[in-house]
Amino acid sequence: MNFEFNEKQKMIIKNARDLAENYLLPGVIERDETSTFPMDGYKKLGQLGFIGLPYSSEYGGSDAGYLEYVLAVEEIAKVDASLAIAYSVATSLYGGPIADYGTEEQKKKYLPPVLSGDSLGAFNLTEPNAGSDAAGVITRAEKKGDHYLLNGLKCFSTNGPLADYFFVVASTDSEQKTRGLSGFIVEKSFPGVTIGKVDNKMGIRSAQVSEVIFNDVMVPEENLILEEGKGFFLAMKALDGGRMGVAAQALGIAEGAYELARKYLMEREQFGKPLYRNQYLSFKMAELNIKIEQAKLLLYKAACDKDAGRSYTTSAAKAKYACTNLAMEVTTEAVQMHGGNGYMREYHVERMMRDAKITQIYEGTNEIQKLIVSGGLFR
Ligand SMILES: Cc1cc2nc3c(=O)[nH]c(=O)nc-3n(C[C@H](O)[C@H](O)[C@H](O)COP(=O)(O)OP(=O)(O)OC[C@H]3O[C@@H](n4cnc5c(N)ncnc54)[C@H](O)[C@@H]3O)c2cc1C
């Protein structure tokens, strides 16, 4: 692992930071209040080549790697955690199964529209009775000649209301539990696909999350990824990559809140001196600074594992756990350091604290991350 970024990586960080600070920052409070998705910001991510960073240019990608991708997500999340997760879901959770396991035709047809930023992609695994335990999936895909008939309801679909394309996990053999699950690419334009309840959330309020309902949807057999029974494998692989996106989102939230707190402690005076001159507060900042560095190294290590072709399930789980707990800690401290102002919308840190919470929950809760890490300890 190289501890110095190369010129390309520095350029990606600079371009993502420019987009975040100059384009996304001005409307971020209003978008949070009105739950409005920054579609123009998403399109710009595509135009800059960010959504396709880890994928081949043959399919509209940018021929870079996962490290470059997490660096971009991190910069966007310092300012707009909602756009950061929409971006991560499109790249990792929708794009991952197709790029890594799709046929040539599937890659050519279904990657470019999303990687270019023209369309959004979504990932539909969760159902009302299948959250941490995917064995509860009851959405059914029944083979009928040259197509599958898809019926069921998926919940908590990030990008759901806006997406043109969905990666859907459905059961093709209910006797087999997770080994009977299969992964499909479904277009919103297929008759029978509708959007159900749109969720009203605590945080990431400008990201759009909803139910997606499939009612006798005819899915062509060529939209099955790999073969029947591989859906659980595909979803778990996608989530290994997605967790690095969530970790990058959380790390960005933590760094954004840390920087706002640092500036506030220098500007705000009480008892005749700037707040940072209280050792309690400067030591607290030192602790957070060290923890940010620790979490960052875990995340970059996980991304480097994936880029080098090493196993990354455990390193991604560790990075997700560390970065997301850190985001909650730093944002809570940042609100406290801002005093009463921290509780007010215009100071950003209250939004960051609300945004941080979900990172501990989605793409496998942090309890599930401990299951993954502990599972490897006693072999
Ligand atoms: C805003 C948002 C966006 C989302 N986006 C998507 C998406 O795009 N696509 C998608 O498919 N899903 C998505 N999800 C779903 C998300 O991944 C699940 O909510 C999450 O995995 C937890 O599942 P659950 O809500 O059913 O909780 P449950 O599985 O019911 O868990 C409840 C609690 O019990 C704990 N728990 C469960 N099992 C164990 C165990 N064995 N040991 C210890 N503790 C355990 C959990 O950690 C949690 O604290 C999203 C959710 C939200 C809220």
Measured in Å, residue 136 CA sits from the centre of ligand 1 at 12
The answer to whether 130 and 122 have CB atoms below 8 angstroms apart is: no
Catalytic residues: 363
Residue 108 has pLDDT above 60, yes or no: yes
Digit-coded pLDDT (tens) for 300-355? 999 999 999 999 999 999 999 999 999 999 999 999 999 999 999 999 999 999 99
Pocket flag, ligand 1, residue 358 (CB < 6 Å):
yes
Measured in Å, residue 131 CA sits from the centre of ligand 1 at 5
Can you tell me which atom of ligand 1 is nearest the CA of 126?
A: 11
**Among 85, 132, 367, which is best to mutate for testing ligand 1, by the most ligand atoms less than 8 A from CB?**
132
Task: Return the bridge partners of 165, or none.
Answer: 121, 187
Q: What is the pLDDT of residue 318?
A: 98
CA-atom Rg of the chain in angstroms: 21
Determine the average pLDDT of the residues in 93-104.
98
**Dihedral sign, Cα of residue 97, residue 103, residue 106, residue 108:** positive
**Among 89, 126, 358, which is best to mutate for testing ligand 1, by the most ligand atoms less than 8 A from CB?**
126
Can you tell me which atom of ligand 1 is nearest the CA of 154?
A: 11
The CATH architecture to which 121-227 belongs is Beta Barrel (2.40)
Domain ranges of the chain: 7-119, 121-227, 233-375
The CATH architecture to which 7-119 belongs is Orthogonal Bundle (1.10)
Q: Which fold has domain 233-375?
A: Butyryl-CoA Dehydrogenase, subunit A; domain 3 (1.20.140)
Q: What is the pLDDT of residue 2?
A: 64
**Dihedral sign, Cα of residue 190, residue 193, residue 194, residue 198:** negative
* Identity of the residue numbered 254: A
The answer to whether 208 and 161 have CB atoms below 8 angstroms apart is: yes
* Identity of the residue numbered 300: Y
The residue that leads in pLDDT, 339 or 3, is: 339
Please count the helices (runs of H) and the strands (runs of E) in the chain: 13, 10
Pocket flag, ligand 1, residue 125 (CB < 6 Å):
yes
What distance in Å separates the CA atoms of residue 326 and residue 211, rounded to the nearest whole number? 30
Burial class for 378, CB neighbours closer than 10 Å (0-12, 13-18, 19+): exposed
Q: What is the pLDDT of residue 379?
A: 82
Pocket flag, ligand 1, residue 162 (CB < 6 Å):
no
The values of phi and psi at residue 45, to 5°, are -60, -40
Q: What is the mean pLDDT of the chain?
A: 97
Q: What is the pLDDT of residue 141?
A: 98
Q: What is the pLDDT of residue 1?
A: 57
**Dihedral sign, Cα of residue 110, residue 112, residue 118, residue 122:** positive
Determine the average pLDDT of the residues in 267-280.
98
